[in-house]
Chain A
């Protein structure tokens, strides 16, 4: 049976974990968007040398688990003389993993924009950066919104491995409480509830954004 007193006692602890998960999750996702936009532009415009670098990066980070990447950053960087906080590691790790996914998603959106769009914008006297930011990227986003939302949800869930580098996120809180007091049912119940509190609004917001973004170009 679920003990409601235990739940009330645990809620503040989970709230702390919740804020940490949300903070690292969203900062990491922000970083992943930045990486994704820049790296996908490099691929789309076939920038020499940098394109090869981006391809290696994408394959490296898409094909290794986040946990392994985090261990590398958390235990590897200090060996090389860089000292990064656990939070910093989490953000960078999530950003790099997410960046590899975002790169491919945004690139497919960029490639889907007809080249004649670029030409007509150029013919109007627009500069290359103007064409990219005002014409190509917004259209790429409209086509990619469903995949981008899926990436965001995936990344928020991936934050659950952060407990491995001793970040006191939701997962860490639950594991800790189970280890200390054996209140497995209550802890896991709260864990599920808090993840849903984080993810459900994202999912709903995603649907709304998708509708709005698609309306202009596709109508529905």
Chain B
């Protein structure tokens, strides 16, 4: 692994919907093995940023590069580029008409044209690693939210992506299930995966991040290491944001 290698390069991208500027001149470089956590208030453009990175949204201005290639929905080889970028969504979005194993093996077989036997073997290994061996032949509706999300992570992993994007993957989960999904992500971190994570789990962000990006109003307001960001944020805006996660003890009037 080469920490100097630039995997994803974002140069001055802007993106608006109707009159609203959701992303405003964002630049960011992601190196191999780096884990970047993106935090910020809702509506600050976190999800839009991730969606621009694999070409689910087109940028209005600027460029996104995966290695040497431009990422944009209108480029010809966009499906080939998307294979190299894994994405996991808040709502899991497993395919409900396919079993867990089929969900995981569909894209490697149909998109990457890999052999069924090889794909099945890898799928089984990965599912076992996230504790889903017993669920392989079940349908998504038979799984809990946390199990579905773990399966969705495996579905992204089996494509051997160069970078993984996580879009608030625990936001729809009950607390205990949040933990099981975050544990899978911590395991990925130990394997030196390159990851961009949008989350509201601040303790998790602090534990996993190499860098924290604080996004507000479509701008990168802070780009710091997690220790610094969570203890001594540089801006008032970030301090206020972090305060929304802490509560003072209630002193009752007598």
Contact = CB atoms under 8 A, between A and B. Distances in A.
Interface of A: 114, 116-117, 119-127, 130, 134-135, 138-139, 142, 216-219
B84 to A, nearest CB: 8
Given A134-B106, A139-B96, A217-B96, A120 B89 contact: yes
Contacts of B142: 219
Contacts of A117: 93, 95
A124 B159 contact: yes
Contact of B97 (A114, A126, A216): A216
Contacts, number: 71
A126 B111 CA distance: 6
A218 B54 CA distance: 31
A125 B96 CA distance: 19
Contact of B95 (A119, A121, A123, A127): A121
Contact of A123 (B56, B98, B106, B141): B56
Nearest to A133: B110
Nearest to B140: A217
A125 B111 contact: yes
Contacts of A216: 96-98, 139
Interface stretch (B29-37, B75-83, B201-209): B75-83
A118 to B, nearest CB: 9
B97 A123 contact: no
A130 B110 contact: yes
Interface string B65-107: 0000000000000011011011101010111111000000011
Contacts of A138: 97
Nearest to A117: B93
B155 A124 contact: yes
A117 to B, nearest CB: 6
Contacts of A126: 79, 107, 110-111
B141 A119 contact: no
18 contacts: A116-B91, A122-B56, A123-B54, A123-B82, A123-B85, A124-B83, A124-B111, A126-B79, A130-B110, A134-B110, A139-B95, A142-B97, A216-B96, A216-B97, A216-B139, A217-B96, A217-B97, A217-B139
Contacts of B89: 116, 119-120, 123
A123 B87 contact: yes
Contacts of A122: 56, 79, 82
Contacts of A134: 106, 110
Interface string B50-72: 00001010000000000000000
Output the residue of A116, A124, A217, A219 with the most chain B CB within 10 A.
Answer: A124
B123 to A, nearest CB: 14
Which 3 A-B residue pairs are closest in the complex by CB-CB distance?
Answer: A120-B93, A125-B83, A124-B107
A117 B97 CA distance: 11
Contacts of B110: 126, 130, 134
B48 to A, nearest CB: 13
B151 to A, nearest CB: 12
B93 A116 contact: yes
Given A119-B89, A125-B159, A139 B79 contact: no
A125 B139 contact: no
